[in-house]
Structures are given as C-alpha cells and as structure tokens.
Amino acid sequence: MKAAQDTQKPDSCPSLLDVESVRKDFPLLARRVHGKPLVYFDNGATSQKPQPVIDALNRYYTEENSNIHRGVHYLSELATSLYEEARKKLRRFVNARRLEEIIFVRGTTEAINLVAQSYGRKFLGAGDEIIVSAMEHHSNIVPWQMLCEQVGARLRVIPINHDGELVLDEFRRLFNDRTKLVSVTHVSNALGTVVPVKEIVRLAHAGGVPVLLDGAQAVPHLPVDVQEIECDFYAFSGHKMFGPTGVGVLYGRAELLDKMPPYQGGGDMISLVTFEKTHYNVLPYKFEAGTPNIAGGIGLGAAVDYLAGLDWDQVAAHERDLLEYATQAITKIDGLRIIGTAKEKAGVISFVLDHVHAHDVGTILDQEGVAVRAGHHCAMPVMQRFGVPATTRASFAFYNTRAEIDILVGALHRVLKVFG
C-alpha cells in the first residue's frame, strides 16, 4: 500500500481515468436513494449498466426482435446476425481460439452446472475426485456435490490461509491419480482474492486433469485471456460485467466440448429429429437448447464493446487506488476487521464490526444511500472458515470514486453512533 502518497493528496485520484465522464455513461448512478445520492458498492452482486447496453436492449425490442436460427424473413436474419455478432465479440473478449468455444448460457451458475452434468456425468465415476477451493461461491460447490451423489465421486477442498489465499502446497497434496477435475474461482466474491489460476492450471495439466475457472468476479476487473491461462473451461455472467441479467458464457476447449453430450434437449440443439434417433447439432448449438436470451446476448455484446473502449491500464490503476484508499480509510474505524487480506486482491472489501451484525450495518448504510451486501455472500464455507456469521461487503467498479468511499466511512461512523 502506498500510504504516504495517498494521504498527501486525498482529493485527487492518481489514476488518469476520467471517472466523472465514465459515470455519465451509467444513468442509474445519478439517482438518489432515501433522499441521498446513491453510492453503489454492491457491484459484486451485480453491476450497473452503461447507456449503450440499455440502448441495445431497447433497440432490440423496438426494432429487431425476432427468433433466431429459423426464419427466412428479414427480421429473423437480422436478429440472428446480431446475436452471432455478439458471440464474436465475446470470443475476442476472452481470446478464445474458436467461435464455437463460446456457449451462451444464463450465467455462471448454468455454465458450471452444464460442465458438471455433461462432462462430469460422462467422464467421472465412483471414487473419482473433484477439487474445489474453500473460497468458492455456492454455485461452484453445489453442482459438484450433486454430481458426486449421482456418480459416487468425492469432493476435495483446497484450504485457504488466514489472509484468504489459497494454499497451493495443500492443492499439490490433494492432487492424486483419482483427481478428474479441478474447479476454482478466479476472483473470490466474498474476499476479493485473486487466485493464481495459471499455476493451478499448470499443476493440474501436469497430471492430465482439466480445469474449470469461475470467472464471474474476474471479468469486471481483469483482462482475461483463456489461451494465456490455458484453462479448459471458463464461466462468467453478463450482469456482473455491465451487461444484462440472464445471460452469460461458458468458454470450453472445443476438443472437450466435442466429446461432451448435450446438457439439455430441445430446439436449436439438433440437426435431425426422428422418433428413432436424434442427431445433435454442431458446437456451440449442441449446448444451446431452446430460444436463448437473444436481447441479453446482444446487450452483452454491447457491454463488451463498451469495455473495449476503456483504457484497461487506467481502469486497473483506478481500481487499485480505490481499494487502497478504502482499505486505509476503513481500517481506522474502531472495532472493524477486514476479512480477506490477500496480497493479490480485486476491489472487494469484506468486513465485520465488533458487536454489530452485518445486517444492521447494511440497513444503516442504506439509509445513507450506500448500497452494500450484507450476509454470507453465497459462500457459507468462507464465513465458517473465518468464524463469522456474515460480513458486510463493499465491492467496487471502475465508476466508483474516493468521494463515495468517504461517504461510506461517514455512514460507518453513524453505525457506531447508533450502536454506541
């Protein structure tokens, strides 16, 4: 932390990102809550949407709506080409080798369930092992537990240390001949920890084991290159990366996806249906049964375009500054303890206050216009690991400011006053 530098110029942000101009792109940020200007620090739950994304959704339903991959008419062709154009944008966004490696899903949860039920049921059997980490979101725990029940496999858990970092030596120790899949998060939603995923992939691949990464919290903060990481699957949600809800992506290496059976049956995922036998469609359509979230896919494409227009060195510098500034400022509050102090962190601060429950903190902050998450963050094992029932979590996006952090600090002082 660059404490000395930061305190010398508390009002100016050292990054060059023009935050005020960026904020104007997000209309919701201008609203008030309980008569106070909104301070939106719940980006880990979902991000706000820039105007181009809202416009894309509006334009789709106003001028372009039609079903895709079917009609011969003009609108159907238009909608199809817009939807497939969005797939191309997402391929570039994560730098997948091939377009058919981008499968549209409802979100990260569905992506992980897809791999568990398709890859898992085909390639895992009794006695096989799946490795996850102790900082997973429930969506990267429960699908594997369900698979374990179905095929008799076993879930193994890489522990985390007191800072909320994954213990790599323990991962090496857990890894064995029965290990058939590794599924870990890229960035922890509850702690903010950035996991050394390249190292995990390297170790797993040395044993010939594929790796799925839960990228839901990574894509809003870091440039992701699946070829550089060399992961086998990468799952993420649109709504956490400034796109619409109800759409997300599973990236999968084509060699693996080709060997996997369909996840759901229905329209669009077939090439020929008779009552005797059905032939499945090619990738990626084999995994996209039914009419998808067309507007959502197109809107997510617009989010990717928006993000591509930002300077990501500036974004990274600004987010690092926010995290350092906020960490320093709230650490000064009496009785406050930050949960998750990894060396490599994204813009997430989870904390507990002595004698004040996270829910009470959340309600009082809300009255000050500050939106945070209070609870277990769908990561109950993380709460158990740190011996707390719940935490308050402030999660930042590039449109947040130091001034907003000052408001958070002021609101936390109000909490202390109420519970004095």
Point out the residues that are catalytic.
Answer: 378
* Degrees to nearest 5, angle at CA 236 with 230 and 242: 125
Cβ proximity to another protein, 6 vs 360, nearer residue: 360
List the beta strands (DSSP E) in 175-317: 179-185, 211-214, 233-237, 248-252, 270-273, 278-280
Q: Which one of residues 364, 370, 405, 416 is an interface residue with another protein (CB under 8 A)? A: 364
Q: Whose CA is closest to 94, among 182, 197, 193, 219?
A: 219
Find the shortest distance in angstroms from Cβ 144 to another protein.
20
Choosing from 349, 374, 397, 412, the residue that interacts with another protein (CB under 8 A) is 374
Pair type for strands 129-133 and 179-185: parallel
String of contacts with another protein for each residue 388-417, x by CB under 8 A: -xx---------------------------
Nearer to another protein, 137 or 253 (CB): 137
418 binds another protein (CB under 8 A): yes
Using CB under 8 A as the binding rule, whether residue 190 contacts another protein is answered as no
CB of 269 to another protein, least distance (A): 34
Q: What does DSSP assign to residue 32?
A: E
Identify the bridge partners of residue 394 per DSSP, sorted by sequence position: 349
The residue within the footprint of another protein, chosen from 87, 376, 393, 402 (CB under 8 A), is 376
Smaller CB distance to another protein: residue 71 or 375?
375
Q: Is 99 helix (H, G, I), strand (E, B) or coil?
A: helix
Residue for token pair 């062709």: 77
Stretch that binds another protein, among 76-84, 180-188, 337-345, 350-358 (CB under 8 A): 350-358
Cβ-count burial 104-143 (b if 16+ within 10 Å, e if not): bbbbbbbbbbbbbbbbbeeebeeebbbbbbbbbbebbbbb
Task: Find out whether 193 and 164 touch, Cβ atoms under 8 Å.
Answer: yes
CA-CA distance, 212 to 231, in Å (whole number)? 6
* Site for another protein contains 380 (CB under 8 A): yes
Query: In the set 357, 371, 406, 409, which binds another protein (CB under 8 A)?
Result: 357
Residue 412 near residue 333, CB atoms below 8 Å: yes
Q: How far is the CB of 193 from another protein (least distance, A)?
A: 20
Minimum distance from CB of 31 to another protein (Å)? 19
Q: Which residues bind another protein (CB under 8 A)?
A: 355-360, 363-364, 367, 374-376, 380, 383, 389-390, 418-419
